[in-house]
Every structure is written in C-alpha cells, then in structure tokens.
Amino acid sequence: MSIRGVIRDGVDRLARRGRAMTASSSQARPETAEHTPAGLVESFGRERVTGWIAPPPGSGPVHVALLVNGTEVAATDAVAPAEREAWAPTVGFGFAMRELWPYLRTDHKVTVRVNGRSLPIVGHGMYFAPPRNGKHGLRTLRELQAQGRGPDLRAADVPA
C-alpha cells in the first residue's frame, strides 16, 4: 500500500471512530461560559496587560483573572467588544500593571486565566516572568489585599 493509501485509511478510521463516539454519546457538551473560550494576551507591558477572548455566543461576561504563582491578584469581566479579525465575535480585557510591579520577583510566574485555563501571552508563552525584583513581595501584596488596601489593578479601558 502506498503512503497516500495508509494516510487515507487512517483518516477514514479516525472519522468512523469520531462518528461512533458522537452517536453513542448520550450527553452533548453544551456551549456555555463554563467552557474555556479561545483567547490571547496580546500585550504584557509595564503599564498594562491587554488581550481578547472569543466566548460562545450568548454566554455573557467572561471572568478573566490575573494570577501570580497561582494566586489570583486581580479579576475582571471581559465584556467590551474587541475589533479583531476572528471566526467569532471577540471581547477585550485589560489589567493596570503599574502598581503590581513592586510586589513581583523574578521567580514569579504571572498568568492570565479564563475559566481556570491560562491564555497564551504573545512573545512570552504561557506565563510572564518579571525582569527584576520589586521592593516588596507577594506576601505583602496578599496582606494588603486582605485588608482591602491593595493596588487597584483594574484597567480604565480595554482594547478596542
């Protein structure tokens, strides 16, 4: 059998298996906000972090969280339409970063998550590592936030 024949047989076998699994599945997975929409952190800078997501139609606001070493330090709802060339409507999100840097260290991993899953960050991968140590630490940030005195990381505007 030729290489083409082997590939065609493999593709056909996978297609039959997929149809069989779909037919035997008694519960279809609904499209809800509970499932992670596609998205991207486009910019991770000194002043702000911005990005977009493509939530399922009619899902409403989508919770986006900024985490440091797995601890949520800020959150927002992505609701503002973002003009991106994508297969679906997109909404933007943003976080103000200026007040966060003094609490970060070079060994911290900063991530942006939607429904518990990290979004990729352009030019950095799945997390951002600060280039230098801040004068405080993550413990100080957590203590301030627990007292309601932490930095305001909400962005005043989001990408258009």
pLDDT for 74-94, tens place per residue? 998 887 777 776 777 888 899
Compute the average pLDDT of residues 42-50: 92
| Percentage of the chain exceeding pLDDT 90 | 44
Is 119:113 a contact under the CB 8 Å cutoff?
Answer: yes
Mean pLDDT within 111-127: 93
State whether 66 and 12 are in the same domain.
Answer: no
Query: Same structural domain for residues 46 and 18?
Result: no
DSSP, collapsed to helix, strand or coil, labels residue 15 as helix
Same domain, 74 and 135: yes
Question: What CA–CA distance (Å, rounded) separates 154 from 132?
Answer: 23
- Calpha distance 157→155 (Å, rounded): 5
| Residue 77, helix vs strand vs coil | strand
**Mean pLDDT over each residue of the chain, to the nearest integer:** 78
In tens, the pLDDT along 5-36 reads 434 454 444 445 444 443 443 343 343 445 66
Q: Is 154 part of any domain?
A: no
Q: Give the per-residue pLDDT at 36.
A: 66
Note down the domain range covering 7: 1-30
Tell me the pTM: 0.72
Instruction: Report the number of distinct structural domains present in the chain.
Output: 2
Nearest to 152, CA basis, from 78, 73, 77: 73
- Confidence (pLDDT) at 31: 39
The amino acid at 91: V
Q: Which of 94, 106, 108 is nearest to 45 (CA)?
A: 94
Domain co-membership, 42 together with 111? yes
Which band of pLDDT confidence, cut at 50, 70 and 90, is reported for residue 156? low
Q: How far is CA 8 from CA 12, 15, 16, 109, in A?
A: 6, 10, 12, 44
Asked if the model's pLDDT at residue 113 lies above 60, the reply is: yes
Q: Two tokens at 123?
A: 């030019």
- Answer yes or no: is 122 within a domain: yes
Q: Which of residues 71 and 23 earns the better pLDDT score?
A: 71
